[in-house]
Amino acid sequence: MKKLRAAVIGVGYLGNFHAQKYAALESVDLIAVSDSDQKRCAEIAANLDCAAVADYRQLVGRVDAVSIVVPTVMHFEVASFFLKHGIHILLEKPVTRTVTEADELIALATAKGTVFQVGHLERFNPALDAVRGEIDTPWLIEARRVAPYKPRGTDVSIVLDLMVHDIDLVTTLIDAEITSITACGAAVYSETADIANARIGFANGSFANLTASRISPVGDRSMQIYQRDTFINLDFQNRKAAITRNGTLNPETSVPEVSIEEISVPARDQILAEIEAFVYAINSGSAPAVTGNDGKRALETALRIEEEIKRNTRLLKGEG
């Protein structure tokens, strides 16, 4: 089979990993990396034995697919350019700044017959995969995603930076229309919210409670899924999972006997798995693991949460 020709647009912290994974795949030929920081771009290109390109537009005709790992404000500009030229894209989250931009990218990908995958990386977390078969109808999902402050990612609020991962997961696991959102947050170090909490209600009666922070003294990426007779605990950060199951009632204590099963979670390189899924979708002509519509749904919800935070902030300030 002919090798897929790939490039990475934006080789900062995360983009560098994308380039490394493409270079390691037997079925892919990493043609080039592109970045506005030409010195860094040249260094990474030299390390991976590929070309360094200052202007990504020069890649038309030279590549079949690209990973786009640039600041969110540039997502639409770069993604639409490649889609218009029939080049498959793996676009980092959040998909775009606005729902209108997301709709335009989805329409472009459909018209050109190109794969449009969105980089919601936690879809490939092995802890989630290990229990996916046990998840039936969640009644309540609680998610916590907190980390110490780093300037990287602060071009958007904590909702679009970190919470969007869990928004994508809960709206996938609870496949029902959202009927209510309440949220609050605070900007501490940045111009936008650095910490946020959101409660999402669904038409089927389920709820999700999400907390995200980039000003926490310690890191934690975890999720608890409650459903009838079962409680599933996921530790995304340490890649652990456990299932607590309700048992028969103990007649002496009137307390149910419960069993706790620690689930074996295999090691997995999530970025590599994400890129392998992208390559598979291209080669097989199948839908990507995370579609443009998935990215749009997460963005729509995130923007609603941001509006709720702004509304409550105005109330706290006495601005009505």
Q: Provide the token pair at 78.
A: 């770069």
CA distance 278 to 65: 9
Give the dihedral of Cα atoms 126, 127, 130, 134; nearest 10 deg.
-140
**Can you name the CATH fold of 4-121+270-291?**
Rossmann fold (3.40.50)
Rounded Cα distance between 67 and 231, Å, is: 37
* pLDDT per position as a tens digit, 85-141: 999 999 999 999 999 999 999 999 999 999 999 999 999 999 999 999 999 999 999
Confidence bin at 258 (pLDDT 50/70/90):
confident
Q: Over 90: is that where the pLDDT of 250 sits?
A: no
Within 13 Å and on the Cβ side, how many CA atoms surround 294?
A: 23
Q: Which two tokens stand for residue 224?
A: 């608890």
H-helix or E-strand spanning residue 141 = strand 140-146
Q: What pLDDT was estimated at residue 317?
A: 67
Percent with pLDDT over 70 in the chain: 97
Q: Between β-strands 51-53 and 28-34, what pairing exists: parallel, antiparallel or unpaired?
A: parallel
**Among the ranges given (118-122, 171-175, 248-252), the one the predictor scored with the smallest mean pLDDT:** 248-252
| Residue 229, CA distances (Å) to 124, 176, 225 in order | 26, 21, 11
Nearest to 70 by CA among 33, 110, 123: 33
Q: Are 274 and 119 in contact (CB under 8 A)?
A: yes
Q: State yes or no: pLDDT of 266 exceeds 80.
A: yes
Q: Residue ranges per domain, the chain? A: 4-121+270-291, 123-267+302-315
Identify the DSSP state of 162.
Answer: I
Q: pLDDT tier at 278 (50, 70, 90 boundaries)?
A: very high
The CATH classification of domain 123-267+302-315, taken from the options 3.40.50.12780, 3.40.50.1980, 3.40.50.2300, 3.30.360.10: 3.30.360.10
Amino acid, single-letter form, for residue 101:
E
DSSP 36: S
Q: Report how far residue 24's alpha carbon sits from residue 16's, in angstroms, rounded to the nearest whole number.
A: 13
Tokens representing 281 are 């979708």
Tell me if 4-121+270-291 shares its fold with 123-267+302-315. Answer: no
Phi, psi of 68 (to 5 degrees): -110, 110
287, 267, 156: which is closest to 214 by C-alpha? Answer: 156
What's the chain's Rg over C-alpha atoms? 21
pTM of the model: 0.92
Mean pLDDT of 165-179: 96
| Residue owning tokens 């490039």 | 7
